[in-house]
Amino acid sequence: MKMMSENNIFHRISFSIKRKIIQIVAFGITNSHIGNFTQGKIYTGKWKNFCAPGLNCYSCPAASFACPIGALQAVNGSMNFDLSFYVTGFLLAIGVLFGRAICGFACPFGLIQELLNKIPSPKKKLPGWMKYIKYAILVIFVLCLPVLVTNYMGVGKPAFCEFICPAGMLEGSLPLLSTHPELRATIGPIFSIKLLMVIITIAGSIIFHRFFCKVFCPLGAIYGLLNRFSFFRLTIDRNLCVNCGKCARVCKMDVDPVKNCDSTECIRCGACVHACPKKALRLGFQK
Amino acid sequence: MNNLRNGLKVQQRLTASVSVLLFGICLMLYGIHRDEMAVVLNKAVHICLECIGLG
């Protein structure tokens, strides 16, 4: 009897709350070394051999894993290698298993943006063409610049981390600057560029749902391209669908699941599944 | 006829997904074999000043 009531409670918890719980747990696992914030150091253990599936700066004091985009640039720009098979393979494997569900469930920076979007303000939709910016960023800043622009030793710089990624400043720079006064002497022009990106991202995330994911995130671009092949996916039963349009109206990623269940923008958040009055949409692992 | 077409589509998709997954795993193992993990670890255990907007 008791078990039955527990089951009922579990079923009564809405999908969005379950997703939020998974996001918080993923955030906690990815950033489990909270104590490092006060000590002003970063975790240096063996888990940093591995990449986190979501965007999370490895210079954040609490970070437990390497950032996949940072790691990709580090290997691509290193003296010995021009392409990281390890990180590319990791992204392909994770991407084909989960697609952009990683963005919706396991990305710490995605959670931060969703929380920022809770701040009361007029909510707007982005023009459709802006979603293509992230592909340009992936090709230019993540894949090309670290390999092509190198110093005399043949080492390239992590151009995406250096000029675009606001996670590094929010999760790494600001906590470390507060505990290491000597680091303040190293503040230069790059800091201003990054600060501008942080301001744009925070302001954008308050007004637009997941602004950084939609416009700038190269990891979202990779996983988005793999949505078409992913095992965890959204499907529609066209015999049940009555084309009421509720799913498209509730989608904060501006996707119409009736037109395309495998959209590169779909983060598999499940809002459309919950909104469908005919239960025509299904989210999960399937053929 | 439609069922047959859908079945073929599902089959093609499954084949593509499994192929990409296996390809990804092979790439990852090859990367580990040529010691890319050491580069990742070395980058991740040091504070990357340019990554956080300093330096």
Please tell me if residue A75 touches chain B, with a CB cutoff of 8 Å: yes
Tokens 């920076």 appear where? A109
Query: pLDDT digit string (tens) for B5-31?
Result: 777 788 888 999 999 999 999 999 999
Of all residues in chain A, the percent with pLDDT exceeding 70 is 95
Residue B49 domain-assigned (yes or no): no
Mark whether A192 and A249 lie in a shared domain. Answer: no
Which residues share a beta bridge with A281? A236
HSE (side-chain half, CA atoms, 13 Å) at A108: 26
**From A19-23, A262-266, A283-287, the region with the lowest mean pLDDT:** A283-287
Question: What is the domain count for chain A?
Answer: 2
ipTM of the complex: 0.91
Nearest CA in chain A to B32: A86
pLDDT of residue B2: 67
Mark whether A182 and A200 lie in a shared domain. Answer: yes
Average pLDDT, whole number, for chain A? 91
Closest CB to A89: pick one of B24, B43, B45.
B24
Tokens 């719980």 appear where? A21
**A residues 221..240 contacting B (CB < 8 A):** 226, 229-231
Residue type, A199: I
Nearest CA in chain A to B21: A93
Tokens of B33: 């074999």
Q: Taking CB atoms and an 8 Å limit, are A93 and B29 in contact across chains?
A: no
pLDDT of residue A14: 81
pLDDT of residue A3: 46
pLDDT of residue A4: 45
Mark whether A190 and A280 lie in a shared domain. Answer: no
Residue A243 domain-assigned (yes or no): yes
Mark whether A190 and A238 lie in a shared domain. Answer: no
Mark whether A219 and A249 lie in a shared domain. Answer: no
Question: What is the domain count for chain B?
Answer: 1
**From A181-185, A211-215, A230-234, the region with the lowest mean pLDDT:** A181-185
Residue type, B45: V
Residue A5 domain-assigned (yes or no): no
CA distance B47 to chain A (A): 5
Dist. CA A255–CA A39, nearest whole Å: 44
Residue A4 domain-assigned (yes or no): no
Whether the Cβ atoms of residue A211 and residue A134 lie closer than 8 Å to each other? no
Residue A67 domain-assigned (yes or no): yes
User: Bigger pLDDT: A188 or A205?
Assistant: A205
Query: pLDDT digit string (tens) for A250-271?
Result: 999 999 999 999 999 999 999 9
Residue B51 domain-assigned (yes or no): no
Q: How confident is the model at residue A38 (pLDDT cuts 50, 70, 90)?
A: confident
Write out the residue range of the structural domain in which residue B30 sits.
2-44
Tokens 């982005």 appear where? A126
Tokens 């969703």 appear where? A114
Cβ of A242: how many Cβ atoms within 10 Å? 11
Of all residues in chain A, the percent with pLDDT exceeding 90 is 77
Q: How confident is the model at residue A8 (pLDDT cuts 50, 70, 90)?
A: low
| Domain end (from A198, A226, A254) | A226
Residue A277 domain-assigned (yes or no): yes
Residue A210 domain-assigned (yes or no): yes
Residue B53 domain-assigned (yes or no): no
pLDDT of residue A9: 57
Q: Decide if pLDDT at A234 tops 90.
A: yes
Mark whether A153 and A263 lie in a shared domain. Answer: no
Cα–Cα–Cα angle for B33, A86, A48, rounded to 5 degrees: 95
Mark whether A274 and A185 lie in a shared domain. Answer: no
Mark whether A275 and A176 lie in a shared domain. Answer: no
Residue type, A185: A
Which residues in chain B have Cβ-Cβ distances shorter than 8 Å to A83?
none
φ/ψ of residue A264, rounded to 5: -65, -15
Query: pLDDT digit string (tens) for A134-182?
Result: 999 999 999 999 999 888 888 888 999 999 999 988 888 888 888 888 8
| Domain end (from A179, A197, A226) | A226
Q: Taking CB atoms and an 8 Å limit, are B25 and A191 in contact across chains?
A: no
Write out the residue range of the structural domain in which residue A268 sits.
234-285
Task: Label the pairing between strands A232-236 and A281-285.
Answer: antiparallel
- The CATH number linked to A249 is 3.30.70
Which residues in chain A have Cβ-Cβ distances shorter than 8 Å to B45?
42-44, 48
